[in-house]
Structure 1
Amino acid sequence: MDVTEVKVRRKKKLGSYPYVSVVFSITLALFVIGLFGLLLLYANKLTQVIQENVEIQVFLNQTISPSDRLKIQKTLANKEYIEPQEGQEAIIFISKEEAAQEFIEETGEDFRQFLGENPLRDAFVIHVKPEYYAPRELSKIKLDIERLRGVFEVAYVESLIDAINRNVTKISVVLVGFAVLLMIIVTILINNTIRLALFSQRFLIRSMQLVGATASFIQRPFLTRSLLHGILGGIFAGGLLFAIIQYAQQQIDDLSQLQSTQELIVLLVSLLVLGGLVGFISTYRAVKKYLGMSLDQLY
């Protein structure tokens, strides 16, 4: 008696395709985007920290009275370019005695013994907001403060400010250019992955057309699944990125100081939106392409 093998094949469902490879590709692509986004956030925060630690010193006249000194401090406190420091006063006063003592502790030499006096001056130390770190803005701030009665001189390390501004500009141009290139590559990668996955569905799409199904009816299940797969890829990529951040914080001291919880949340949400959006658009284009093909072109 002959034994006939019966192969039971699962019926293809409209909109179904090997989604594991698609989700994996989307996850990998979004993870790379997330790492680069995290690098941008850290670089921006590091630049801000460097700028905030650049001090501007306001030296006062030797014969200034305490009332005039207090008046200058109040005037400076009302300036729109002053940046308050977290956990510190916005304007720090350093007396000439404190400055002399600090100098002696650093050098080990007491210059007052052979000079017979303390030539240093009382000074205020201020920090300005990041948007005022352009050379032209700093020059305006310097002139503005030096007009105050009782102010002898305003000093800051101009070479350091210029170097910071030049490097920030160069880094920004490079990072933005690389970000655009990376976005294009990731979009193409996800688009090609989805098109290859939908290639196996081209005859099913054609069959649905032949029985009178509308284009929107055929597209709907594909678009729904692609949107879910994109969001799922974003969730996996966000989870991997969060794990990397936790590990890096354990290995690198003070890394958490360069991290903003709000910006990190925005980055993770952006991965979800980007995954869903790119998956949706790529699927829409692929299905529309197969809908417009003739039977000969499908082979």
Structure 2
Amino acid sequence: MESKARKKRKLGSYPLVSVVFSISLSLLVIGMFGMILLHANKLTRVIQENIEVQVYLNKNITDSEVTKISRSLGAMPYVLQKEDNAEVRLVTKEEAAEQFIEDTGEDFTQFLGDNPLRDLLVLNIEPAYQPTDSLRWIQSEIAAINGVYEVSYVESLVESINSNLTKIGAFLLGFSIILLLVVVILINNTIKLALFSQRFLIRSMQLVGATGRFIRTPFLVRAIWYGAISGLLASGVLYSLLMYANEKIEDLSSLQDERMMLLLFGSLVILGILVGFLSTFRAVRKYLKMSLDELY
């Protein structure tokens, strides 16, 4: 019994399971929201990468002229690049006619006697150039190229996408800030309550001449360990939930970036260590400055 009592009174010791559980749960909540943000960001990128500008070419244009225009547009900074390849796609008038006949079941060339469609270049636009003013500038610049008949895009769709993405981004940013503050407060209060039982031991160490640094060190070391363990536990649970979700939701893995996921898990560990360290430092400093009456 006496050895157990001495163990409880050891400087820097406070409950492991309850503190780690509370911190891990808080980090798990913020980790899940961070996972949602990463998926939303990737989905936003996919949506933006599918915004297209259609460039209709003049009739009777030669293949060499089409190639020249295609290469010229592919070198433009506003054209999306994937794996060092410009996202410029050629749809010939023959291909367009075949697609129309397949979709409608009617062969318009039989009663028209000719194919009235034009060769088409489809450009995917870089997200940075998707504001309305930029797209209008792109439209006028491409229209001035020799051999281009018309340039068009669905302006109402682009404006709707940009407006909705802006609103969603603002909401997620505000909610993430609030959630981060709540998590920090919860972890801070958890550690403060855990250290409450140590306040008289801290006072006793002061009375025998121990310096503030000597008293704080064991608490801070343990806080670092607790924060690291909590971050690892939260990351492990989050990874397990992610793998389960990938099995249940089709194509969810296509929205995941392995590098960003590892960065998120590392951030949880660092956040647990940082918040635990700072909260412990503040709590110990508070008890060091308290008078005996205030401790009671």
Which of 53, 60, 65 aligns to 1:56? It is 53
Task: Give the Cα–Cα distance (whole angstroms) in 2 for the partners of residues 65 and 109 of structure 1.
Answer: 28
For residue 100 of structure 1, what is the aligned residue in structure 2?
Answer: 97
Deviations 1:264-293 (A, max 9, x none): 011111001111000001000000000000
For the 8 Å contact 2:79–2:86, the answer to whether it is kept is no
Check whether the contact 1:94–1:125 (CA below 8 A) recurs between aligned residues: yes
Letter in 2 for 1:10: A
User: Would the aligned equivalents of 1:19 and 1:197 in 2 still touch at CA under 8 Å?
Assistant: no
Shift in Å, 1:8: 5.3
Specify the code of the residue in structure 1 equivalent to 2:30: I
Out of 6, 10, 30, the residue aligned to residue 13 of structure 1 is 10
Root-mean-square deviation (CA, aligned residues, Å) is 1.4
Q: 2:233 aligns with which of 232, 236, 241?
A: 236
Q: Does 1:193 align with 2:190?
A: yes
Structure 1 partner of 2:31: 34
Residues 101 and 107 in structure 2, CA contact (< 8 A), matched pair in contact too: yes
Tell me the number of residue pairs that the alignment of Structure 1 and Structure 2 aligns.
294
Letter in 2 for 1:99: A
Pairwise CA distance, 1:113: 2.1
Does 2:138 match 1:114?
Answer: no
User: Structure 1 unaligned runs (5+)?
Assistant: 1-5
Rounded Cα–Cα distance in structure 2 between residues aligned with 1:59 and 1:106: 21
1:10 partner SS: helix
- Is the 8 Å Cα contact of residues 227 and 280 (structure 1) preserved in structure 2? yes
Q: Does 1:286 align with 2:271?
A: no
Q: Any conservation in 1 of the 2:224–2:273 contact (CA below 8 Å)?
A: yes
1:22 aligns with 2:19: yes
- In structure 2, the residue corresponding to 1:57 is in which secondary structure? strand
| Counterpart amino acid of residue 13 in structure 1 | K
- Percent sequence identity over matched residues? 54
Q: What do the CA deviations read for 1:109-160 (whole angstroms, capped 9, x no partner)?
A: 1122222221110011111111111111111111111111000111111111
- Between 1:160-169 and 1:68-77, the stretch displaced more is 68-77
Is residue 30–residue 234 contact of structure 1 (8 Å, CA) maintained in 2? yes
Aligned: 1:144 with 2:102 = no
- Aligned partner of 1:178 in structure 2 is 175
Q: Provide the C-alpha distance between the structure 1 equivalents of 2:251 and 2:85, rounded to a whole number of angstroms.
A: 19
Deviation at residue 47 of structure 1 after TM alignment: 0.9
**TM-score, normalised via structure 2 length:** 0.96
How far has the Cα of 1:7 moved from its partner?
Answer: 5.8
Aligned residue among 117, 122, 125 for 1:125? 122
Provide, for residues 210-245 of structure 1, a one-character-per-residue CA deviation record: whole Å limited to 9, x for no partner: 000000110011011111101110000000000011
| AA aligned opposite 2:55 | V
Normalising by structure 1, we get a TM-score of: 0.95
Alignment partner of 1:226 is 2:223: yes
2: CA distance between counterparts of 1:86 and 1:92? 15
Instruction: Specify whether residues 65 and 286 from structure 1 end up closer, same or farther in structure 2 by C-alpha distance, changes over 3 A only.
Output: same
Contact 1:237 1:271 in 2 (8 A): yes
| Cα offset, 1:10, TM superposition | 2.8
Counterpart Cα distance in 2 of 1:193 and 1:174? 29
Q: Quick one: distance in 1 between partners of 2:84 and 2:105?
A: 31
Q: Secondary structure at the match of 1:218?
A: helix
64, 72, 77: which one aligns with 1:75: 72
Q: Which moved more, 1:104-113 or 1:272-281?
A: 104-113
Query: Does the 8 Å contact 1:59/1:124 carry over to 2?
Result: yes
- 1:242-272 deviations in Å (ceiling 9; x for gaps): 0011000000111111000011011111001
Number of the residue aligned with 1:3 = none
Q: Which runs of 5+ in 2 are unaligned?
A: none
CA distance in structure 2 between the partners assigned to 1:26 and 1:218 by the alignment: 23
Q: Distance in 2 between matches of 1:29 and 1:157?
A: 44
Counterparts of 1:248 and 1:80, CA distance in 2: 37
